[in-house]
Each structure stands twice: as C-alpha cells, then as structure tokens.
Copies of this chain bind each other. A is one copy, B any other.
Amino acid sequence: MTIRDIETPLAPPPTPMGSKERLVAAALSLFQAKGYYGVAISDILEATDLPKGSLYHHFPGGKEELAIAAVGFIADEVDARLAAEFGKNKRAGAVLLELAHECVIWLQRSDYTKTPLLGLLAASPGESALTQAICDAQKRWLARFETALGGTEAAHDKACLALASLEGGISLARMSRSSDLLIRSVTLAALHINQR
C-alpha cells in the first residue's frame, strides 16, 4: 500500500498533497479497510512514508483526531457530490444508483478490501467524538436525499431506505467479494424511491 493507491473519488489532486492531506487520505483508506481499531498508527506512517513527529505535529490529538479528519473528508466529498447531482434536477433514484456505481468501482479497485463509505469506521469507540463525526456525516447525506425527495415524511422514509440499502449493500458486497448484491439491492431501492 502506497500513497498512490489512494484516490479521491472525483478530481484527482492537481497539486501534490502536503503531509497533512496525505495522512488524512491514507488514514481514510486504511480505516475503510480495517476499521478504527484495526489500523495502527504505524500502518498509516508506513503508507505515507512519514515519521511519527509529522503525524503528531498535524494531529496533536493522535489517532482519533486523524480519524475524525478522515471522516470529515469523506463526508464533505460525498456531500458535495450529492449536492452537485441533485443540482442537476436528477431524480433521487438516479443519484443513488450513480453513487452505488461509484462505490462498486472503489470496491473493485481495492479488490473488495475497502468499504467505500463509512461502514467499517463504525467499529469505533462508542460515545466518542469520532462516533459523533460519523453520525453527522450520515445525517448530512440523509438530509440531501430527504430534501431532494420533497422534504415530506415519506421523503424521510425513502431517504432512509436509500442510505441503508447503500451501506448494507456495500457490506454484503465486500463480504461476498462481488458487487452483485450491492447492485441488486440498490437498483430495487432506487426503483421504489422514484415511485411517488
């Protein structure tokens, strides 16, 4: 695993990443693969080829602060993506499908080791700031779907189904090492969401 394996979903970095950005990118990638406890600081340092001093300079809060930054990064990334897609007046089901297809690509690229969104990061210390950050990210994504679907009570339900089928589908896909189950569950969910 080197820093080159880590790609931001859209917009490959035009400027060479600084140490801080590289740490966040590597941390995100590793956490998505093995969860919070499964990743050692030394793993992250190895992936970035940076010494310990750099990490604790940029993230005095250590592992948890870095993890929170990683969550914030992916949260922003996906949120911006959702905003852009919905801005084109796309139907919610179509946006969900698009997001799912991108997740499939990530899954395949990582040989089904990485969980694209936040799934595995949920294996984190309970009641911590990290858990809160993950929760916030999910709330933001949920809200995007909800407002795009009209903001009604039914829209809320549909948004829940969208996100749940996506996260759940990713989990099933990663375990079975095949994107099939993810595609199936998400397309069916998209179908239902697009109905009025």
A interface residues with partner B (beta carbon < 8 Å): 33-38, 113, 115, 119-120, 122-126, 131, 134-135, 138-139, 142, 156-158, 160-161, 163-169, 171-172, 174-177, 181-182, 184-189, 191-192
Which residues from chain B contact A189 at a C-beta distance below 8 Å?
161, 164-165, 189
* Top 9 A-B pairs, shortest CB-CB distance: A168-B168, A35-B123, A164-B168, A164-B185, A123-B123, A37-B37, A167-B168, A37-B38, A160-B184
A113 to B157, CA, bound (A): 24
On whether A188 and B157 interact (CB within 8 A), knowing A135-B176, A138-B175, A168-B163, the answer reads yes
Select A160's contact among B33, B126, B172, beta carbons within 8 Å: B172
Provide the main secondary structure of the chain A interface: helix
In contact, A138 and B172 (Cβ under 8 angstroms): yes
CB distance from A118 to the nearest CB of B (A): 8
- CB–CB A185/B161 < 8 A: yes
Residues of B within 8 A of A36 (CB): 35, 38, 123
Closest residue of chain B to A119 (Cβ to Cβ) is: B171
Contact of A175 among B34, B135, B156, B166 (CB under 8 A): B135
Sampled A-B contacts (7; CB under 8 Å): A34-B37, A119-B122, A156-B184, A160-B185, A161-B189, A164-B186, A191-B192
Taking CB atoms, residues of chain B closer than 8 Å to A166 are 168
Task: Report B-chain residues with C-beta under 8 Å of the C-beta of A157.
Answer: 184-185, 187-188
CB distance from A173 to the nearest CB of B (A): 9
| A127: nearest chain-B partner, CB-CB | B113
A-B contact sample (15 more), CB < 8 A, given A38-B124, A161-B185, A165-B185: A35-B36, A36-B123, A120-B122, A122-B175, A135-B175, A135-B176, A157-B187, A158-B188, A160-B188, A161-B188, A163-B172, A164-B169, A164-B182, A168-B171, A192-B192
